Structure 1
Amino acid sequence: MQICPSILEPDIKSLLATIDRLSPFYKYFQIDIADGIYVPNKTVQIDDLIYYLSNQVTKLPTNFIFDFHLMVKDYKTEIEKLEKLRNLITIENVFIHFDLLPNYQLLTTNYSLSIGLALNPKDSATDLTTHYPLPTTPCIQIMSVVPGVQGNPFLPETLKKIEQLRLLGYKSKIFLDGAVND
């Protein structure tokens, strides 16, 4: 098991302050990107990170690794931005919400990032298998809260999806996101 803090911040300064505060303990972070459309909340945007890092406004240690959780309607545009950002920081995984039914084969063909799928509490593991072949999905993130806002309560029934995915033959990484520290 690996612990990777998820960071949901409204602006670049708050995001960088949180990374700085957590950096003595972690080198692997997940940054939540919300557009205010797919979820009601809006967070720091990828454009802000690109600007700050490319203009030397700030620097992040080169040994830090980042995942990105895209809680956005227009995930293709955000993935294109992440392709640029990966020249400035190390990006390991990008999560897109399953209920948006992304053309997964097209995404994995057109982009060099590792793209995983996020399952909301209302999504079932078996629904995932009707749309995507599990062996080709490098990682799946199970949302243990309703996504978009910090402070939503942990939903223990979402933990059953881990077992369901394993019983369906999924052997790759499973991430759990949302109120895990509760």
Structure 2
Amino acid sequence: MNDVQFSPSLMTMNLDKFKEEIRFLNDHVDSYHIDIMDGHYVPNISLSPWFIEEVRKISDVSMSAHLMVTQPSFWVQQLIDIKCEWICIHAEVLDGLAFRLIDQIHEAGLKAGIVLNPETPVETIYPYIPLLDKVTIMTVDPGFAGQKFIDGTLEKIVQLRELRETNDYKYLIEMDGSSNRKSFAKIDEAGPDIYIVGRSGLFGLTENIETSWQTMMTDYKEMTGKKYYKE
């Protein structure tokens, strides 16, 4: 796989500095992470396909929608309609829908991802794992920013890497939750391809996005001994 990627979670950005932060990040990140919550799967209500369209007015960076919803079919079609590059659905709501929705996403020329909650085993997605473009491991419980990192979830990242190598699968491995200076070293050891960064890792570090980004890059380098390729 290529160098590690960083994907800012836009739910945690400073919305009164929306244009300033997006225009800076456009030159530094690989994708944007868009949390869509329906108030049912998780108690919060968050971003929407409309928000993706607003970001697109000032960015051509790839968008990855994380659906924390109870009726994924409704939202998948909306995201297909606006050509969201990545559509990622929780495995926990996919009973009887997985193959249909993955095919629907692929037939639209888009990429399909699956998200696993901390207590959901990788084995849950074995029937359709060869079809996936991305697997996201939640390292916190879904729905709220700023939660404590769950160390045991990292074992699933290692398991996914071994499965990919053994079976020549093509999916990317992404981690979501409390990615910051305190956790960079142990995340790096597990070896995901994509780090989702939010308030604790990026947006909450300083009042200025450029300074916050530089701080995050320093934290990543000091804790892992590695340099991000788009620093």
Q: Which TM-score band applies after superposition, normalised by the shorter structure?
A: 0.7 to 0.9
SS at match of 1:39: coil
On the 8 A contact 1:27/1:65 being kept in 2, the answer is yes
> Could you tell me how far 1:27 is from its partner in structure 2?
4.8
What is the CA–CA distance in structure 1 between the aligned matches of 2:34 and 2:128, rounded to whole Å? 26
Partner of 1:109: 103
SS at match of 1:68: strand
Partner of 1:59: 57
On the 8 A contact 2:34/2:47 being kept in 1, the answer is no
What is the CA–CA distance in structure 2 between the aligned matches of 1:92 and 1:157, rounded to whole Å? 30
Bigger drift between 74-83 and 167-176 goes to 167-176
Partner of 2:142: 147
Partner of 1:70: 67
| TM-score normalized with structure 2 length | 0.64
**1:135 and 2:130 equivalent?**
yes
Partner of 1:97: 90
Distance change in 2, residues 1:3/1:173 (3 Å): same
Partner of 1:179: 178
The residue type equivalent to 1:135 in the other structure is: P
After the TM superposition, which segments of 4 or more aligned residues of structure 1 sit over 4 Å from their partners? 9-18
What is the CA–CA distance in structure 2 between the aligned matches of 1:104 and 1:149, rounded to whole Å? 25
Percent identical: 29
Between 1 and 2, higher relative CO (CA 8 Å, sep ≥ 6) is seen in: 2
Partner of 1:32: 35
The residue type equivalent to 2:118 in the other structure is: P
> Could you tell me how far 1:8 is from its partner in structure 2?
1.8
On the 8 A contact 1:124/1:161 being kept in 2, the answer is yes
On the 8 A contact 1:7/1:18 being kept in 2, the answer is no
Unaligned runs of 5+ in 2: 183-231
Residue among 7, 10, 22 paired with 1:7: 10
Partner of 1:85: 82
**1:43 and 2:38 equivalent?**
no
RMSD: 2.6
Higher helix share: 2
Unaligned runs of 5+ in 1: none
Q: Could you give the per-residue CA deviations for residues 71-97 of structure 1, whole angstroms, max 9, x where no partner exists?
A: 1112111111111222xxxx3321100
Query: How many positions carry a matched residue from both structures?
Result: 170
| TM-score normalized with structure 1 length | 0.80
